[in-house]
Amino acid sequence: MTTDSQALLSIRGLHKQYGKLEVLKGVDLDMQRGNVVTLIGSSGSGKTTLLRCVNLLEEFQGGQITLDGESIGYSEVNGKRVRHPEKVIAQHRAMTGMAFQQFNLFPHLTALQNVTLGLLKVKKLPKDQAVALAEKWLERVGLLERRNHFPGQLSGGQQQRVAIARAIAMNPSLMLFDEVTSALDPELVGEVLAVIKGLAEEGMTMLLVTHEMRFAFEVSDKIVFMNQGRIEEQGPPKELFERPQSPRLAEFLKNTRF
């Protein structure tokens, strides 16, 4: 399958359950390099869980995730499913960057230190290079002059921009955005979305979960509608939003503000 080997991210038959509750019931998804894919769906549909499986913040019980040729999380040894050692998992996690709904900046570190931590400890860059790279990305998100501020001294939108800089400075092959504007005051949403949009235009491969439908429409190559742990429908934004095939998607779109 040539398309599979070219795919940057390939998810096959992903199953995930919490105890008896099955939250992902066999998900298949492919992403090419440079793709922007947005997961939409009502809460509880499994979109955030799917995103978190990609960098193994959630364990999954069945199926396979392949990122840039690497099998994420587990490998088959003599027909048995074995979890990778912690070190390998950490290396794989560094291949993706993630921005969270709650920013999750490290409160005891300055904006600059938040960005350099991974560069120094994971990438093992020398300090001057790490600082230069971090400053470059802080400038990119418009916060260079705030580099010595602590997260507590930044607004929500600024914190989220630092968090994006922290993730992206690691030069990930895939960026994951998990409802990054949901915890922000409405007037701060725009500055964060502008940063993400800029990254998309530069060709960053991104997998997003968002409730900002207009933004999803503008930025995505593909929209994936999830419902009850399955992909119900997927396609280019225009097609999907204007001619939804599944009645559930039509219902979802009807109830969603643009």
Partner 1 sequence: MYESQSWWHELWIARETLWEGFQTSVACSALAIVCGTLIGIVAGLVLTYGKFWMRAPFRLYVDLIRGTPVFVLVLACFYMAPALGWQISAFQAGALGLTLFCGSHVAEIVRGSMQAIPRGQMEASKAIGLTFHQALGYVLLPQALRQILPTWVNSSTEIVKASTLLSVIGVAELLLSTQQVIARTFMTLEFYLFAGFLFFIINYSIELLGRHIEKRVALP
**Of residues 3-62, those binding partner 1 (CB under 8 A):** 55-57
Check if the beta carbon of residue 32 is closer than 8 Å to that of residue 4: no
Residue 69: is it exposed, middle or buried by C-beta count within 10 angstroms (0-12/13-18/19+)?
A: exposed
Interface pick for partner 1 out of 118, 229, 237, 244 (rule CB under 8 A): 118
Q: Is 125 in the site for partner 1 (CB under 8 A)?
A: no
Interface pick for partner 1 out of 19, 69, 79, 152 (rule CB under 8 A): 152
Pairing of strands 36-40, 222-227: parallel
Return the range that interacts with partner 1 (CB under 8 A); candidates 144-152, 212-220, 227-235, 248-256. 144-152
Instruction: Report the C-alpha gap between 190 and 215 in whole angstroms.
Output: 10
Return the range that interacts with partner 1 (CB under 8 A); candidates 59-67, 115-123, 213-221, 224-232. 115-123
> What are the E-state strand segments in 117-255?
174-178, 206-209, 222-227, 230-235
How many angstroms separate the Cα of 229 from the Cα of each of 31, 42, 44, 64, 247? Answer: 19, 11, 8, 16, 17
Q: Which two tokens stand for residue 202?
A: 């530069």
User: Total binding residues for partner 1 by CB under 8 A?
Assistant: 31
Interface pick for partner 1 out of 17, 71, 104, 155 (rule CB under 8 A): 104
How many angstroms separate the Cα of 102 from the Cα of each of 32, 117, 199? Answer: 28, 19, 20
Return the range that interacts with partner 1 (CB under 8 A); candidates 13-21, 35-43, 74-82, 163-171. 163-171
Pairing of strands 21-31, 9-18: antiparallel
Q: How far is the CB of 90 from partner 1 (least distance, A)?
A: 5
Q: Which residue's CB is nearer to partner 1, number 97 or number 237?
A: 97
Instruction: Report the C-alpha gap between 155 and 143 in whole angstroms.
Output: 11
Q: Which residue's CB is nearer to partner 1, number 46 or number 118?
A: 118
Q: Which residue's CB is nearer to partner 1, number 24 or number 54?
A: 54
Q: Which two tokens stand for residue 13?
A: 């038959």
Q: Is 153 in the site for partner 1 (CB under 8 A)?
A: yes
Q: Which two tokens stand for residue 245?
A: 């095939």
Q: Is 102 in the site for partner 1 (CB under 8 A)?
A: yes
Residue 233: is it exposed, middle or buried by C-beta count within 10 angstroms (0-12/13-18/19+)?
A: buried
Q: How far is the CB of 148 from partner 1 (least distance, A)?
A: 11
Q: Which positions from 55 to 84 touch partner 1 by CB under 8 A, shown as an x/- string? A: xxx---------------------------
Q: Is 136 in the site for partner 1 (CB under 8 A)?
A: no
Q: How far is the CB of 163 from partner 1 (least distance, A)?
A: 8
User: Contact positions toward partner 1, by CB under 8 A?
Assistant: 55-57, 86-87, 90-91, 93-94, 96-98, 100, 102, 104-108, 117-118, 121-122, 149-150, 152-153, 163, 166-167, 170
